[in-house]
Amino acid sequence: MNFKGMTTSALALAFIGLGAGAQAASCVEVTLTGTQGGPPVFGGLAGSGTLVSYGTEENNCRDVLLQFDTGRGTNQQLSKIGLSSAALDAVFFTHIHSDHSEGLADLMQVRWHFNSDGPKVDLVCHEDATSDDGHTMSCDKFAAHIGDALIESGEMAQRLAENPSRLAGGPSDLLDVTTFGASTEPQTVWQKGDVTVSAISSRHIAGHASFRVDTPAGSVVIGGDAGNDSPAPPRDSSTSAQVELLSKDADVLVHSVIHPVMGPDGDTGFPPPIYYRQSTATDLGALAVRAGVDNLMYTHMIPPLGAPRQGPYPLPAPLTEADYETAARDGGFEGNVVVGTDLATLRLVAE
């Protein structure tokens, strides 16, 4: 199911009756490549990921293609909208939980197989970060080892024997990794032409970051799995102050969501610490109001629409689109709500 929407205020449907020779309007499009919340598998949903593309209406907003997180099945999802892994300019990780990162090996393996002589892909992520209990989350190491099983098993040697023009080091050799340090202020982490990506550190696990894409056609924030800096109540909100800062006057906020039904007041048995480290649908609605965001896109659905359970935790009843929208309205949000389904899209067109 696809959803198309437009923002209302600063941007508008433009260039109706575009004359010959006139410049095509620039546009930015958000596509939810995967909306599964967390590691469970349900109904064929792909793992977490968001494609933000920028261009002109003539080329379907496809001059610059940025993939934020690459959950399970990202490659197949891109193929459904006519894109190959070779088309991506850059990949950004909000964090390296498996449900956000496990699709990168597949994307890069195919790119290595068929496009070893093509350009490298920028991988932009947080520098190594060590948690309070001493484990280190390392995007650098993740990137360096994505081909290891195939290298160790001899698969890659066999492929190289068939075609020695492929890169000898495997798919990692096609990644150009850029890491950024922790910051509670937005910092520019990637730029190409009219497109600028900034990042801010946010809380969920060590090394978590949220991103903002600014283009002449509009701005998009990808919150990831961010939650409040206080890991449990009492606190003002389950949402992140850093995401709120990053979202100021943004056109679109794409954010992982957890429905209040999963909370300790309900009877799903869902672990409270995991509930508390996500942002609730209601609190995200309130954040969108405070930040002046027009479009709120829920993704990484906990639970997904229609699911009888979230992993091992049974629900009293499967949730509907209306359950999520009602939660956003309960937070006071009156703008456009997109309740995440795979390949839902939202396009903004510059005036």
Which CB, 166 or 277, lies closer to Zn ion? 277
Q: Select from 226, 259, 253 the least CA-distant residue to 330.
A: 259
Q: How far is the CB of 86 from Zn ion (least distance, A)?
A: 27
Cβ-Cβ contacts under 8 Å for 246 (sequence gap 6 or more)? 186, 198, 200, 210, 211, 212, 221, 223
Q: What angle do CA 174, 64, 203 make, to 5 degrees?
A: 75
Which CB, 100 or 347, lies closer to Zn ion? 100
Q: How far is the CB of 48 from Zn ion (least distance, A)?
A: 6
Cα–Cα distance list, 171 to 46, 79, 107 (Å): 22, 19, 9
Q: Which of residues 34-63 bind Zn ion (CB under 5 A)?
A: none
Q: How far is the CB of 95 from Zn ion (least distance, A)?
A: 6
The whole-angstrom separation of Cα 68 and Cα 190 is: 13
- Between 79 and 118, how does the x/- string for binding to Zn ion read (CB under 5 A)? ------------------x-x-------------------
Which CB, 26 or 278, lies closer to Zn ion? 278
CB atoms within 10 A of CB 256: 28
Q: How far is the CB of 39 from Zn ion (least distance, A)?
A: 8
Phi, psi of 104 (to 5 degrees): -65, -40
| Binding-site size, Zn ion (CB under 5 A) | 3
Q: How far is the CB of 220 from Zn ion (least distance, A)?
A: 19
| 244 counts as binding Zn ion under rule CB under 5 A | no
Q: What angle do CA 99, 51, 172 make, to 5 degrees?
A: 60
The whole-angstrom separation of Cα 277 and Cα 272 is: 9
Extract the tokens encoding 5: 């929407």
Which CB, 204 or 212, lies closer to Zn ion? 204
Which CB, 97 or 259, lies closer to Zn ion? 97
Extract the tokens encoding 319: 């949730």
Number of residue whose CB is nearest Zn ion: 97
Q: How far is the CB of 47 from Zn ion (least distance, A)?
A: 8
Which CB, 274 or 289, lies closer to Zn ion? 274
Q: Which of residues 198-227 bind Zn ion (CB under 5 A)?
A: 225
Residues that bind Zn ion (CB under 5 A): 97, 99, 225
